[in-house]
Structures are given as structure tokens and as C-alpha cells.
């Protein structure tokens, strides 16, 4: 099953409407936003975060913001979180960096969404050169995401 097919199957099961938009491979989030004619705040980074116990979580971060490690650690209730290397992220999700999305992940890790994630957003779609456009409220509800201020 392709990344797109995994994303679509999971989104459908969760009642999330998804539109796929093909685009040339982007060298940066800013370039991806420009290619899709979206502000960077509407292009959402899906970060795979490793917990100290070896489990993972997803953090959804607007493209114009940076994750606040202190805020996320306090919310999760741990002292240590880190970004794993690309091979560990691939093993944890089944997606390569630049394509990662909670939908269709090989493991349904908990999702934490920054409180600024809203409206029509674009995020990874499981494949390079492809973005998934969704309604943020549908995505957050469908993933049972915890919403909080987790960025600076």
C-alpha cells in the first residue's frame, strides 16, 4: 500500500476529508507553502518525538513556529524528549522525513497539536511531492489530539 493509500484509508476510517495536492518536491517548508499558495502558518510540520521510555508521539506545529521543548515536556509530563534520527522516525511511522503524517502511521502514536493549528491546513501525505489538505478541526477530532500551546 502506498503512503497516499495509507493516509486516505486512515482518514476515511476516522471521518476526515482529505484532498491530495501534487506539487514539485520542495527544498523547504517555505517553498512548499509557496507552491501551494498557502501561508507558512497553514503548512503543518509533523514531528516525530521520542520519549525517554522509547515510545513516540507526534507534534503538529505550524510552519511559522518552532516547537517549545519546555512546553511539550511539561504537557507530556516527562523530563526528556528528543527528535530521533531519520531511520528511527521511519521505523516508528513507516514514513520518510518530509512525508510524515499521523494518518496511516504504522503505529498510532499520541498526537499533540499546537493551539494555533486551525482552518484548512496542509501536511505530509506519506509520499514526496504530495501534500494532504484537511480541515484542522476534523483532523484534531479524528486523531483525538491533545491541543495546547506547544510552540514559540
How far is it, in rounded angstroms, from Cα 142 to Cα 152?
25
In the chain, where the domains are located: 3-148
Cβ contact 48:137 at 8 Å: no
Q: How confident is the model at residue 29 (pLDDT cuts 50, 70, 90)?
A: confident
Question: CB 119: neighbour CB atoms within 10 A?
Answer: 11
Residue 98 or 110, more confident: 110
Indicate the pLDDT class of residue 112, thresholds 50, 70 and 90: very high
- Neighbouring residues of 28: CB distance < 8 A, sequence distance ≥ 6: none
Is residue 36 a contact partner of residue 131, using CB atoms and an 8 Å limit? Answer: yes
- The pLDDT, as a whole number, for residue 27 is 84
Q: Note whether 146 and 75 are within 8 A (CB).
A: yes
3-148 topology per CATH? YbaK protein (3.90.960)
CB 57 within 8 A of CB 108: no
pLDDT at 28: 87
pLDDT of residue 24: 86
Q: What are the phi and psi torsion angles at 142 (to 5°)?
A: -65, -30
Amino acid at each position: 500500500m502506498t503512503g497516499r493509500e495509507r493516509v486516505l484509508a486512515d482518514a476515511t476510517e476516522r471521518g476526515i476529508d482529505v484532498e491530495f495536492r501534487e506539487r514539485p518536491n520542495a527544498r523547504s517548508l517555505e517553498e512548499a507553502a509557496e507552491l501551494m499558495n498557502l501561508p507558512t502558518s497553514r503548512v503543518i510540520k509533523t514531528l516525530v518525538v521520542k520519549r525517554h521510555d522509547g515510545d513516540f508521539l507526534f507534534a503538529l506545529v505550524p510552519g511559522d513556529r518552532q516547537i517549545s521543548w519546555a512546553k511539550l515536556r511539561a504537557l507530556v509530563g516527562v523530563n526528556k524528549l528528543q527528535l530521533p534520527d531519520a531511520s528511527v522516525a521511519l521505523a516508528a511511522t513507516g514514513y520518510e522525513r518530509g512525508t510524515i503524517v499521523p494518518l496511516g502511521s504504522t503505529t498510532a502514536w499520541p498526537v499533540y497539536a499546537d493551539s494555533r493549528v486551525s482552518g484548512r491546513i496542509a501536511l505530509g501525505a506519506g509520499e514526496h511531492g504530495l501534500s494532504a489538505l484537511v480541515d484542522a478541526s476534523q483532523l484534531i477530532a479524528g486523531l483525538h489530539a491533545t491541543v495546547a500551546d506547544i510552540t514559540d
